[in-house]
Structure 1
Amino acid sequence: MSTRKTFRTSLWVGSTYFIEGLPYMIVKFMSFVFFTDMGVREALLGLLNLLGIPWNLKFLWAPFLDIFGTKRGWFLKIQAVLIVLTFAIAVLAGFVSKDDPSSISILQLIAFIFVALGFVAATNDVAIDAYYLEGLSDPKEQAAYSGLRVLTYRFAVIYARSVLVAIAGLVNWFWSFGAGAATLLAFLILHKFLLPKFEAKREGPRSTVKEAMDNFKRSFASYFKRDRIVLILFFIICYKLGDEILFSMNTPFLMRELLVTKTQLSLISGMVGSFSVIGGAMLGAWWIAKQGLKKAIWPITIFMNINILAYVFLAVIRPQANTFNGLALIAFVHSYENIAAGLGNAALTIYLMSLCNREFKAAHYAVGTAVMSLGATVIGSLGGALVEQIGYVWLFTISFMASIPSIALLLWLPVEEKK
């Protein structure tokens, strides 16, 4: 591959995966910070975890993107809709005041737009992943750019958590969401002229609806025909369940119980937390490459889950972020827990990949990730109601207890090493 082509490929791979990560963070992270800042009660904040449902279900409508239009066309149209919805949230956020009772109806409308934005953003993921596989059909090329995909997606996570949240803290939410919409617009203009038209060169008829659905059923059925599938599914759901319960109410805990401001949150969650997760994931990948998944998954799982107790400790002593020592301790524990979470992410990702057979690799991985996030979506939605009834100390204690089954299941779990 020529240097010019390599650079162009790197540019569109990097930019598309940045735009895959940014809408996800607007929906899944910024919504939490916004509604927490607006004084919404914990029980309702917990329900924001249900915004993850579109990502759980996106594999159901993914085949239709291959039937109607092109991946590039889908991606550009979807990105335009993302801009409109994000800007609509920005405009409405400009009229909201947490001290004004009349703002409730506006907050309800914003919540509805977030739901719509979630479905569009999840479809955006499908279009980008499909476009990537269409443009880089050679598995060696896909592997060569996999690191860039992860890196630029993480840049989007850091950008949303740090820059956009910091704008909300330093100015207001109109400018925060407005900056998000402007970023999406800038990338839409770039992609309009940058993205190659791979599918225009493709010969032969496109799949029919029946062919696509038959292939979908076959790939779906083959995933569930493996030995000990019930045990495997239960393990996937349970593996990060403790972490997911903890992080389901992490933002309200930091902002309300420990008095972390939006600007401080942009540093703790955006910079410290994001880089800690990346570092943990890299350490986990190295560990597994050195020891093998079968040996490494045990200590990684135990370490990941025991570290939940660090948040129980925070909830008990409640250090305040308006003091230097308090902020330093909060940042340290947050970093420590995110490193452990990154280790677990690496182990679970590699395990999910080991379950994929060659013929249906993309479909099997999509099913695995959907099952993986099921616990976070469903059980995480109850976190706010639990906080109102029993408080954060007991929520985080339950989080630790919920992590124990994943350790126990390792005794019987079939773990295959991919050669």
Structure 2
Amino acid sequence: MRKKFKTFRWISSTYYAEGLPYSLVQQVSVQFFTYAGASLQVIGLLSFFGLPWNLKLFWSPLIDLFADKKRWLVVMEIVLGGVAALLIWPAQHLNLDLAAKIFMLMAFLSATHDMSVDGYYIQTLSPSDQAAFSGLRVAAYRVAMLVGNGVLVIIAGWISWIACFLTAAAMIWGLAAFHQRALPPSPPSTSHKGRHWHAAREAFTTYMQQPGILWALAFILLFRAGDAMMAAMVTPFLSHLGYGLVARGILTGTVGTVTTIGGALLGGIIISRWGLRHALLPLTLIQSLAIPAYAWLAWVTPSVWWVGVTVAFEQAAAGLGTAVLMVFLMQRCQGDYQATHFAIGSALMSVAATVVGGFSGFLAAQVGFVEFFLLAFAAALPSLWLALRMPAVLFTDRQESMSGSDPM
């Protein structure tokens, strides 16, 4: 029981630490730029802050080849805290050019930190435990996003953006200190004895040689396309409806994130009991059907109560989808290159989010919010077809065993 509690604790803290910088880059930046009066086109372009997550597979072998995962994640957290503190300078005068540069730097550091955390998780836990704790890791990640897009945004609205960014820096530094002291040592690596660069090529080769990999790659690329397209415009859409910083922090940051956590935990339970093969299609369908809810909001302009219900439903569905995708990605990680394999999958996962999100502002400005959200739903349909047609070879033996126990 004591060992299980310690495992629960470090999974929660490391994935909280992974989610907070991501929230700053991908969510708080949008709130900041919206507050500063940036156009829809500029806000859409902020999705290109996701490029480091798309490209991280190119330097992911460094995580496997040099130092251990614990050292990587602690050092990255120390540096990330410093970069978060730098944001107080553009916050003073709403300097969007400087803010964009700092957010992009944070994105590169955060992507590297993600790989160290994911590698530590995969290296430390057995395959069955990886699936069992998938709901917890998603929930911890989403709690960090609640703090980022909820608490920190509310602090910005009630006090100032300077207070927001200083609070973020203090939290990240606190996590670094805690992890240095409390995190168990990284398990010894069983490969790369000579630390040769040919290991990187071998990692990519083994990933691409997995059975059914073309189906898997297509699903990873397209799974979040519609959801990401919609998400890129939610903040400016709520601003368009008249909701300010504090209200948006409560709606998307607090209500939305709490329901996302519930969805993620429920998704972990469903996957562990049904197996990923049987859970894939229904959970993908729920995620996709939640997107048109925003088209309805744009059409009828309802009361704040209905806005809250819609945000909660969509975010719960997104939590279900996240649990599905995380287990699917972990099942593609094999052998001695698991950190690199996961980095490849998670980088591909975010490609669609970056591309469709980057141009979403131009599309929304051109067609209006109702049509835009309907187009986002259309972008989700290919993932449904792939979930329906996914070959059985991706859900056999080892894969099914990873879904064999309950979360936590």
Provide TM-score, normalisation by structure 1: 0.85
Larger deviation, residues 225-234 vs 276-285: 225-234
* Amino acid of the structure 2 residue aligned with 1:109: L
Q: Which has the higher contact order (CA 8 A, sep 6+)?
A: 2
The residue aligned with 1:20 is 18
* Amino acid of the structure 2 residue aligned with 1:330: V
* Amino acid of the structure 2 residue aligned with 1:245: M
Give 5+ residue unaligned stretches, structure 2.
Answer: 402-408
Q: 8 Å contact 1:18–1:153 — kept in the other structure?
A: yes
Distance change (3 Å), C-alpha of 1:355 and 1:190? closer
Q: 2:296 is matched with which residue: 307, 313, 324?
A: 313
- Whether 1:215 and 2:199 are equivalent positions in the alignment is yes
Q: 8 Å contact 2:131–2:268 — kept in the other structure?
A: no
| 1:337-356 superposed matches below 5 A | 337-356=314-333
- Whether 1:64 and 2:41 are equivalent positions in the alignment is no
- Whether 1:111 and 2:111 are equivalent positions in the alignment is no
Q: 1:267 is matched with which residue: 245, 250, 254?
A: 250
Q: Report the alpha carbon displacement of residue 400 of structure 1 after superposing the two structures with TM.
A: 1.2
The residue aligned with 1:299 is 282
Q: Secondary structure at the match of 2:242?
A: coil
Distance change (3 Å), C-alpha of 1:339 and 1:76? closer
Per-residue CA deviation, residues 281-302 of structure 1 (Å, 9 max, x unaligned), is 2333333444443343333333
The residue aligned with 1:322 is none
* Amino acid of the structure 2 residue aligned with 1:170: W
Q: 8 Å contact 1:86–1:177 — kept in the other structure?
A: yes
Q: Report the alpha carbon displacement of residue 186 of structure 1 after superposing the two structures with TM.
A: 2.5
Q: 2:352 is matched with which residue: 375, 383, 386?
A: 375
The residue aligned with 2:117 is 128
Distance change (3 Å), C-alpha of 1:296 and 1:184? closer
In the aligned structure 2, how far is the partner of 1:275 from the partner of 1:204? Answer: 39
Q: Secondary structure at the match of 2:45?
A: helix
Alpha-carbon RMSD across the aligned residues, in angstroms, is: 2.8
Q: Report the alpha carbon displacement of residue 207 of structure 1 after superposing the two structures with TM.
A: 4.1
In the aligned structure 2, how far is the partner of 1:41 from the partner of 1:260? Answer: 16
- How many percent of aligned residue pairs carry the same amino acid? 36
Q: 8 Å contact 1:66–1:207 — kept in the other structure?
A: no
- Whether 1:160 and 2:148 are equivalent positions in the alignment is yes
Larger deviation, residues 333-342 vs 36-45: 333-342
Give 5+ residue unaligned stretches, structure 1.
Answer: 97-105, 320-325
Provide TM-score, normalisation by structure 2: 0.87
Q: 8 Å contact 2:30–2:46 — kept in the other structure?
A: yes
In the aligned structure 1, how far is the partner of 2:349 from the partner of 2:286? Answer: 19
Q: Report the alpha carbon displacement of residue 226 of structure 1 after superposing the two structures with TM.
A: 4.0
Q: Report the alpha carbon displacement of residue 404 of structure 1 after superposing the two structures with TM.
A: 1.8
User: Higher Cα Rg: structure 1 or 2?
Assistant: 1
Per-residue CA deviation, residues 342-375 of structure 1 (Å, 9 max, x unaligned), is 2222333333344444554443333222222211
| 1:95-106 superposed matches below 5 A | 95-96=93-94, 106=95
Distance change (3 Å), C-alpha of 1:203 and 1:307? closer
| 1:252-291 superposed matches below 5 A | 252-255=236-239, 257-291=240-274
The residue aligned with 1:54 is 52
Distance change (3 Å), C-alpha of 1:111 and 1:132? same
Q: Report the alpha carbon displacement of residue 51 of structure 1 after superposing the two structures with TM.
A: 0.9
* Amino acid of the structure 2 residue aligned with 1:342: G
In the aligned structure 2, how far is the partner of 1:203 from the partner of 1:346? Answer: 27
Q: 1:245 is matched with which residue: 210, 229, 245?
A: 229
Larger deviation, residues 278-287 vs 169-178: 278-287
In the aligned structure 2, how far is the partner of 1:401 from the partner of 1:141? Answer: 36
